[in-house]
Structure 1
Amino acid sequence: MGIWQGQSRRKATGGKYKIVVKKHKKEMGRESAETHLTDDTKIKIVRVAGGNKKVKLLRTNYANVMDPKTNTCKKVSISNVVGNDANKHYIRRNIITKGAIIETEMGKAKVTSRPGQSGIVNAILINE
């Protein structure tokens, strides 16, 4: 069964709306990428509206971490997902989303990019 992001067919009271228009392709949704922390890197390229392409990062073990003190950026390996406000179970499953706290070689960092949309993990070092 597909994911549809259009208006619900039911009212808040449980009654049915009168259907005026059919479902459109622009209302279609997709499953989330749920970028996992693994040894290899895997991406998926998806065609989206307007003929554009979206790069979904499915698996990775590297992140581009920026140090705000020295204003430098390094590609470092990710060892663990420490925190994730999107879902508490993502920590146990090592799923990386925007806002997740990851443990790297440089220390703890907060993810600033959307790996499931941009295809890369960018993070900023957290001062502790």
Structure 2
Amino acid sequence: MVVRTGRKVTGGRIRPHRKVKRRYERTRPFLGVFVSEKEERVKIRVRGGNYKIRCKAVKYVNLAIPSEGKCVKTEILGIDDNPANREFIRRGIITKGAIIRTKYGLARVVSRPTQDGVVNAVLMEKAK
């Protein structure tokens, strides 16, 4: 295992090439997507002058039903599990991989709501 000592192999010091982050290197604060009665989205400017739509609060999900080969828009009833962070279940935050409840059954979120601006999910079929 190599331990980083702050020196090169030749013995010279390794110094940071820049002391402060540039504007494009900065990250944005975490924006948790909540289940709400009113849908809320925010438009943010990103690098290159482009825009990204971020969800802040959602009510509906685009649910894919593989057995029927169709997609329906349905209401989110609640959150059952979130492997990203167990604290998100209590706070009601939706991320990619979260298990949500719908009237069709449990579904797994396959989109990134803060990146895509929508919540897409796939219905979890029951094991036979």
TM-score range with shorter-chain normalisation?
0.7 to 0.9
Q: Pick one of 28, 35, 38 that aligns with 1:30.
A: 28
Paired residue for 1:50?
48
Take 2:83 and 2:4, find their aligned partners in 1: how far apart are those partners? 29
Take 2:123 and 2:38, find their aligned partners in 1: how far apart are those partners? 23
Deviation track 1:63-98 (CA, whole Å, cap 9, x = no partner) reads 000000011100000011000011001111111000
Paired residue for 2:18?
21
Aligned length: 118
Deviation track 1:25-82 (CA, whole Å, cap 9, x = no partner) reads 2211001221001111000100001111111100011100000001110000001100
Q: TM-score, normalised by structure 1?
A: 0.84
State the shift of 1:21 in Å: 1.8
> Identity over the aligned pairs, expressed in percent?
39
State the shift of 1:115 in Å: 0.3
Larger radius of gyration: 2
C-alpha distance 114-19 of structure 1, shift in aligned 2 (>3 A): same
Cα RMSD (Å) of the superposition? 2.0
C-alpha distance 12-85 of structure 1, shift in aligned 2 (>3 A): farther
State the shift of 1:18 in Å: 2.7
Take 2:17 and 2:60, find their aligned partners in 1: how far apart are those partners? 48
Paired residue for 1:74?
72
Conserved in 2, the CA contact under 8 Å of 1:32 and 1:116?
Answer: no
Paired residue for 1:110?
108
Q: Structure 1, unaligned stretches of length 5 or more?
A: 1-10
Q: Pick one of 61, 64, 81 that aligns with 1:63.
A: 61
Q: TM-score, normalised by structure 2?
A: 0.84
Letter in 2 for 1:77: E
C-alpha distance 13-85 of structure 1, shift in aligned 2 (>3 A): farther
Take 1:19 and 1:99, find their aligned partners in 2: how far apart are those partners? 37
SS at match of 1:29: coil
Letter in 1 for 2:74: V
State the shift of 1:13 in Å: 6.5
Letter in 2 for 1:70: E
Letter in 2 for 1:24: R
SS at match of 1:90: helix
